[in-house]
């Protein structure tokens, strides 16, 4: 696994040992970041269900100012720490070992908002509708911010069309589909 583009292009990342995570493939990462950017002029990223942290690190490499990583697994949490330290981007990262839903509540209480939220939970356990609704309810995605959702082709993802514009949706292989939504500017939210 490696960083695809930007400041850290080509740098190798550590993966989480075992079968508990499913890293996003390089070709998928390349394709989806081109739909969202491909580069960013700053901004804040939230990587929920972060795994090894490769998606959030890719966002930093492509110009995001900061990324907050949320990961429940202690093994994956340590892998993110190693990858962040390896690239010497500790000053741009916050890494928390927490449940994604609780983390969203905490971030909302701190009135934090993000330009990019990455949602890539374990496919069989991810309640996508619940996580999308939590992001909306807690208002942690800025207007015109991107919501990246990676899921199994066996799942169907629904979203509130009055809240989001569908930017991209594609099945990349037998195990990976991606949907990219952009939050509309909605009054009285």
The shares of helix, strand and coil residues in the chain, as percent rounded to the nearest 5, are 30, 25, 45
- Express each pLDDT in 112-170 by its tens digit: 999 999 999 886 777 898 999 999 999 999 999 999 999 988 888 888 889 999 999 99
Percent of the chain, pLDDT > 90? Answer: 74
Q: Of 61, 53, 62, whose CA–CA distance to 82 is shortest? A: 53
Which SS3 state, helix, strand or coil, does residue 80 take? helix
Alpha-carbon distance of 75 to 38, in angstroms, equals 30
pLDDT of amino acid 122: 81
Ordered domains of the chain (ranges, CATH): 26-50+71-111+118-183 (3.40.50.150)
Joined together, the tokens standing for residue 56 give: 């959030």
Alpha-carbon distance of 27 to 157, in angstroms, equals 22
Residues 6+ apart with CB under 8 A from 61: 3, 4, 5, 6, 7, 8, 9
Can you give the pTM of this predicted structure?
Answer: 0.94
pLDDT of amino acid 20: 60
- Express each pLDDT in 8-38 by its tens digit: 999 999 998 765 666 788 888 999 998 998 8
């Amino acid at each position: 696994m490696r960083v695809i583009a930007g400041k850290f292009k080509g740098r190798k990342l550590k993966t989480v040992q075992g079968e508990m995570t499913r890293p996003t493939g390089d070709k998928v990462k390349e394709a989806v970041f081109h739909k969202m950017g491909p580069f960013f002029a700053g901004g804040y990223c939230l990587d929920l269900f972060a795994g090894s942290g490769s998606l959030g690190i890719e966002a930093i490499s492509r110009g995001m100012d900061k990324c907050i990583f949320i990961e429940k697994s202690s093994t994956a949490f340590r892998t993110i720490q190693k990858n962040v330290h390896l690239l010497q981007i500790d000053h741009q990262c916050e890494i928390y070992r927490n449940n994604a839903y609780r983390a969203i509540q905490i971030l909302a209480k701190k009135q934090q908002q993000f330009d990019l939220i990455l949602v890539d939970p374990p496919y069989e356990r991810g309640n996508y509708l619940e996580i999308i609704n939590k992001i909306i309810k807690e208002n942690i995605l800025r207007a015109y911010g991107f919501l990246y959702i990676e899921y199994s082709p066996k799942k169907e993802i629904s979203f509130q069309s009055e809240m989001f514009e569908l930017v991209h949706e594609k099945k990349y292989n037998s195990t990976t589909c991606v949907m990219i939504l952009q939050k509309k500017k909605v009054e009285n939210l």
